[in-house]
Amino acid sequence: MDTEQILKLVSPLLTAIIGAIIKYYTEEKSKLISFVGHVSAFTLQDEQKTNVFSHSIIVRNAGRKTAKNIRLGHNILPENVKIYPEVQYTKEITPSGSSEIVIPALVPKEQITISYLYFPPTTWNPALSG
């Protein structure tokens, strides 16, 4: 066999191996996607005409691997927070004084909604939501 025939036989095999390696490193990762679900402002029909604000953030693991140690940073973390469906989480204060919601893991294709309810002086500010 000459060199050209050997290359014709080996090149598809090398291409398949390189393709499998690329696929392994690109697809076998967690991939977190997040977006704002809704933002709402209400004025209650009480004597004080109390303002109430809410918004939600959706977080989804669109990857093929479990996402671990997910940290959602907040300049101001409202007291009223609900995660649905319920998952284990903790609230932590960072050295800078901000807060984080820490979720130990989200399995592939798992999605959660984090809903916030808060009152003035805290309001929704899109410039600070990143």
Q: How far is CA 7 from CA 3, 18, 19, 22, in A?
A: 6, 16, 18, 22
Q: Tell me the H-state helices in the chain.
A: 3-27
23 lies in the same domain as 82: no
Question: Stretch 6-23: mean pLDDT, rounded?
Answer: 87
58 lies in the same domain as 87: yes
**Segment 19-77, tens digit of pLDDT:** 888 887 777 788 999 999 889 999 999 999 999 999 999 999 998 899 999 999 998 89
Contacts of 93 (CB under 8 A, 6+ apart): 99
40 lies in the same domain as 77: yes
Q: What is the pLDDT of residue 130?
A: 37
| pLDDT at residue 128 tops 60 | no
The domain in which residue 91 lies consists of 32-123
Report pTM: 0.74
* Local structure of 13: helix, strand or coil: helix
Q: What is the pLDDT of residue 28?
A: 77
**Segment 85-126, tens digit of pLDDT:** 999 999 999 998 899 999 999 999 999 999 999 998 888 765
**Residue 1 pLDDT level (bands cut at 50, 70, 90):** low
Domain count, the chain: 2
* Residue 128: inside a domain: no
9 lies in the same domain as 43: no
* Residue 65: inside a domain: yes
